[in-house]
Structure 1
Amino acid sequence: MSQDEFADHLGVARRTVATWHARPEMVLRSEVQRALDTVHERASDGVRARFALHLTQPVNPANQIQGQALSVAVAVVTRDDRVLLVCRRDAETSGVMWQFPAGVVKPGGAADHVAVRETLAETGVHCTVRAFLGERIHPVTGVHCTYWLCDYLAGEAENRDTDENISTIWAPRAALTRFIPAEQLYPPVLAALEEEPA
């Protein structure tokens, strides 16, 4: 299964499975571990044999097929003196509670389009990309992130993705670090928000 298919199969958020992939050392909550155990027990003998073989094979970097790194497009949407944020439902697994709207970029996908599309899907806000702010490996999730400064166009902020998010708000830019710890904020994002006219 793909990560998206596996998330749907388990009934968890797709970003949760992506976080497991990015941080294999993570200790899962007991109810999640029970769900995974149940899936394993219900799997066919062939699937369990392949899984066991995968766990016992030594990793040889010279022969290992390199997978596509998980990449996420992050939209930093401004409106006057505010910035759009979503509150994640599964913060315990990712270590992130409040964040900017974001979406997984599939291989060959355009990250700027994903940022705009996911903002609308998650929050009901239409926006347009103004500038590319940079990219990094997120210090908490370990996921590759690209950041896009976006201008608000239309729409009222609402939580349209209740599977993954608890809430959506326009936060005051001056109070951003009350929602997202300063050490987790990407410095070019902070710089862009400080330069942005209110």
Structure 2
Amino acid sequence: MTGTQRWNGRTATRLQDALRHSIEDFAQHLNVAPRTVARWHHDPDLVPRPMIQQLLDHALETATPEQRERFYADDEQTTSAVALSAALAVVLKGSDILLVRPRTPESASWQFPAGVVKPQSSPEAVAVRETLAETGIDCEVRGQLGSRIHPITGVYCVYLLCEYLAGEPENRDPFENINVRWVPTTQLTKFIPTDRIYPPVLDAIKEAS
């Protein structure tokens, strides 16, 4: 094998840097979701699944000599190709809120639908697009609830309050998620620990009740 003997988040993002790819470009190059690449930035010790390791092997084997030289130049160097930010959709339908359950083992709870925000994109557009792509739910942004550096992932997150328009929940991204469902807002903290919920989200739920 031309690539490393063992892939983890650290070596995967080093390959991304060697190829001079953004998170979106590297994800497209590997044919994986941008969130997968983002997780490697969040957790350098995360070991990808065997299928993804094969994709990384192929990406390294087909890299140019110059790109491979950059990859092997410094085995300890890990850099982020771009600063990562994400748009999170807080979608309300009456007394219910929309959640997704990520497939990654490090995810201990459900989450709000989310997507990576590229420099030329708006958080509002990303929130609506990714919610539809992940869950089959069409929604409309009512306003921003605020933003923060997420205490667990370290990603800059923008929270968008969204109103349900149409659709039934379905897991349209089974590669990334296990399940999608409406959850009563009164039970939200049973699905996401209270200390991980952005406080303005809880305030918005109370106002909508």
TM-score by length of 2: 0.77
- Stretches of structure 2 that go unaligned for 5 or more consecutive residues are 1-20
Q: After superposition, where does 1:53-132 map in structure 2 within 5 Å?
A: 53-55=73-75, 68-92=82-106, 95-132=107-144
Question: What is the Cα-based RMSD across aligned positions, in Å?
Answer: 2.7
Which residue of the other structure, out of 162, 165, 178, is the alignment partner of 1:150?
Answer: 162
**Distance 1:102-1:53 versus aligned 2 partners, 3 A rule:** same
**What displacement does 1:81 show?**
0.8
Structure 2 partner of 1:172: 184
Pairing partner for 2:47 from 25, 28, 53: 28
CA distance in 1, matches of 2:52, 2:104: 15
Matched to 1:90, the amino acid is T
Question: Conserved in 1, the CA contact under 8 Å of 2:146 and 2:200?
Answer: yes
CA deviation map 1:41-67 (0-9, x unaligned): 55443222111235477x9xxxx9x95
Percent identical across equivalent pairs? 52
Match of 2:24 in 1: 4
Q: Give the match for residue 11 of structure 2.
A: none
In the aligned structure 2, how far is the partner of 1:190 from the partner of 1:133? 10
Query: Matched residue of 1:4: which SS?
Result: helix
Is the alpha carbon distance of 1:27 and 1:68 closer, same or farther for their aligned partners in structure 2, counting shifts above 3 Å?
A: closer
Structure 1, residues 125-160: CA drift from partner, whole Å, max 9, x if none?
Answer: 111111211111111211110001111111111111
Distance 1:138 1:109, change over 3 A: same
State the distance in 1 between where 2:160 and 2:105 align: 23
Aligned to 1:135: 147
For 1:182, the equivalent position in structure 2 comes to 194
Equivalent residues of 1:136, 1:145 under 8 A apart: yes
Q: Which residue of 2 aligns with 1:45?
A: 65
Secondary structure of the structure 2 residue equivalent to 1:109: coil
Q: Supply the distance in 1 between the matched residues of 2:100 and 2:49 (Cα, whole angstroms).
A: 26
Distance 1:68 1:5, change over 3 A: closer
Letter matched to residue 71 of structure 1: S
Tell me, yes or no, if the aligned pair for 1:87 and 1:167 is still in contact at 8 Å. yes
User: Are 2:23 and 2:82, in contact at CA under 8 Å, matched by a contact in 1?
Assistant: no
- Is 74-83 or 119-128 further displaced after alignment? 119-128
Query: What's the offset of the Cα at 1:5?
Result: 3.8
How many residue pairs get aligned? The number is 188
